[in-house]
């Protein structure tokens, strides 16, 4: 499972790339907690990570959406739906269910976050910069 920043994720917009790196760091924290055998009760730390992920995702999405609006990105609304779906998924987490099996929950959370980040950056976010490149060629 990929949980580290690689150059293939670079979209070429510095502030967005830096924020993506931070999302990878949070995924790394989830991975570290999953593999930590010292903690017997991981519940409080899981809840902290959920809120950290949600808060940072909201901050990042705001930055990205403002950028898309500034450049007049044609796919802004459909892109925003992906952001909204991510936030809805995080908001729908049943904190009581976490207490049943911490590691199973962490693994599910990690897979969701890593897959979402990977797919979203490589498919959706890269479209932003390719549209910018296309429009600058036509200008």
Q: Over the stretch 45-82, which tens digit does the pLDDT of each residue have?
A: 988 998 999 999 999 999 999 999 999 999 999 999 99
What is the pLDDT, as a whole number, of residue 135? Answer: 64
Distance CA 3, CA 25 (A): 8
Count CB-CB contacts under 10 A for residue 129.
15
Task: Spell out the per-residue pLDDT of the chain, length 139, in tens.
Answer: 557 889 999 999 999 999 999 999 998 998 898 888 888 788 899 889 989 999 999 999 999 999 999 999 999 999 999 999 999 998 888 877 777 788 888 888 888 888 888 899 999 999 998 877 666 665 5
The domains found in the chain, sorted by start residue, are: 11-132 (1.20.120.50)
In Å, the largest CA–CA distance within the chain is 60
The pTM assigned to this predicted structure is 0.87
């Amino acid at each position: 499972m990929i949980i580290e920043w690689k150059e293939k994720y670079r979209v070429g917009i510095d502030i967005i790339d830096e924020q993506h790196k931070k999302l990878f760091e949070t995924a790394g924290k989830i991975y570290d907690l999953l593999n930590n055998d010292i903690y017997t009760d991981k519940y409080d730390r899981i809840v902290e990570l959920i809120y950290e992920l949600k808060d940072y995702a909201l901050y990042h999405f705001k930055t990205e959406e403002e950028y898309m609006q500034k450049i007049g990105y044609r796919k802004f609304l459909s892109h925003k739906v992906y952001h909204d779906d991510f936030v809805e998924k995080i908001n729908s987490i049943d904190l009581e269910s976490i207490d049943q099996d911490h590691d199973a929950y962490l693994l599910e959370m990690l897979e969701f976050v890593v897959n979402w980040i990977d797919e979203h950056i490589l498919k959706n976010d890269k479209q932003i910069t390719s549209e910018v490149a296309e429009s600058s060629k036509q200008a």
